[in-house]
Amino acid sequence: MSGQGYLLWVTGVRLTEYSHGAGCACKLGPDELSVVMSAVQDHASTSHPDLLVGVRGSDDAGVYDLGDGRALVQTVDIFTPVVDDPGDWGRIAAANALSDVYAMGGTPLTALQYLAWPRDTLDFDTAREVVGGGLDVMSEAGCTVLGGHSIDGPEPTYGFAVTGMVGAGSYLPNSRAEEGDTLILTKPLGVGIITTAIKRGKCPPDVARRAVETMTTLNDVAGRSLAPARAHAATDVTGFGLLGHLREMCLASGVGAIVSATDVPVLEGAEELLGLGMWAGGSQRNLKSILDFVESEVGEDELRVLADAQTSGGLLVALARDSVEEYIHLVPGSAVIGSITDGAGIRVTP
């Protein structure tokens, strides 16, 4: 955490106290979402001849063909505080919102900002720091913020709707993973566990700082490297955890997967905090909803890390074996974690 975060803590303002959950762990669970989405799936408004990727699948962003070889990539991501420092929270929200464009192989172009703020309990200087952090990351991404909306709300809530561009024939859905593909993850897991510890005031500062670094790191390099490495499928790991997002990829592609738990990078300190009971409600729902799909040869705690709800997590990429070296070379911190198999279901090996 930064010095500002410490100052705020001393003066008694801890942003995570104003949030009922943490980041993407606040998302509706897969089972809850399927109830809501039944109103959306078959609605006339969600289909169009130029729509390449829409809400009827389970992809990261919508893709709409402009008819001139280009396509729009659009997504929205909004959440409550995951950390106490307002600037850090703004930066994380922006990096997270941009991530879904990168996960489709797109380049962010413009964004709209959304802020809900409890005017009676939090001051507006703090809100200014949140927005400042968010805009800094949008600049870093080369994404122009052209508007937004703010309201008085019971919980501080912040995020962006992002529009990007992609070649109409070169976007990357999560439905084209092939048997024999290698699986790569570009950021370590564990931020759900760590942000739960931050919210409970139980996180060592160095562990929190590394988690903030991870969450504010853009997936731009990981996204730009998908095309040169001829990746087949990609998604970003967020609220459903690694296993939840891998399940979506498997179902969409009609394949299965093997994940080697010891090969999955995990943030330092996360496993210790999990041992102390730092485990978000959203992650528990994740684990429950994937158990039918997973055949596990590892212990309960290892499985919990793999189901941990991430905020601004890395890309999960499926690509041919002979492209692995090229991708890993282009994307620092990325790691091979398993492979795509025929059949259905995810096997987790030690």
Cα 275 → chain centroid = 24
CB of residue 40 vs Co ion: minimum separation in angstroms? 15
Strands 256-260 and 335-341: antiparallel
**99 or 334: whose CB is closer to Co ion?**
99
Nearest C-alpha neighbor of 218 from the set 310, 313, 122, 133? 313
Q: How far is the CB of 152 from Co ion (least distance, A)?
A: 25
Stretch that binds Co ion, among 20-28, 97-105, 127-135, 288-296 (CB under 5 A): 97-105
Residue with Cβ nearer Co ion (85 or 100): 100
What contacts 122, CB < 8 A, 6 or more positions away? 13, 18, 156
Interatomic CA distance for residues 340 and 46, integer angstroms: 31
Dihedral pair phi/psi, residue 72, rounded to 5°: -85, 140
Count residues binding Co ion (CB under 5 A).
4
Residue 60 binding Co ion, by CB under 5 A? yes
Closest residue to Co ion, judged by C-beta, is 60
Residue 24 is a catalytic residue: yes
Q: How far is 159 from 223, CA to CA, in rounded Å?
A: 20
Q: Is 59 an interacting residue with respect to Co ion (CB under 5 A)?
A: no
Smallest distance from the beta carbon of 8 to Co ion, in angstroms?
28
Kindly state the smallest distance separating residue 115's Cβ from Co ion, in Å.
18
- 248 touches Co ion (CB under 5 A): no
Q: How far is the CB of 267 from Co ion (least distance, A)?
A: 20
Choice between 76 and 145, CB closer to Co ion: 76
100 binds Co ion (CB under 5 A): yes
Q: Which of 143, 136, 176, 139 is nearest to 52 (CA)?
A: 176
Q: Which two tokens stand for residue 12?
A: 């008694």
Strand order in the sheet with 256-260: 233-236, 315-319, 182-185, 335-341, 256-260, 346-349, 294-296
> Which of 84, 85, 236, 248: binder of Co ion (CB under 5 A)?
236
Catalytic-role residue among 24, 26, 143, 250: 24
Q: Which residues are catalytic?
A: 24
Binding residues (CB under 5 A) for Co ion: these are: 60, 77, 100, 236
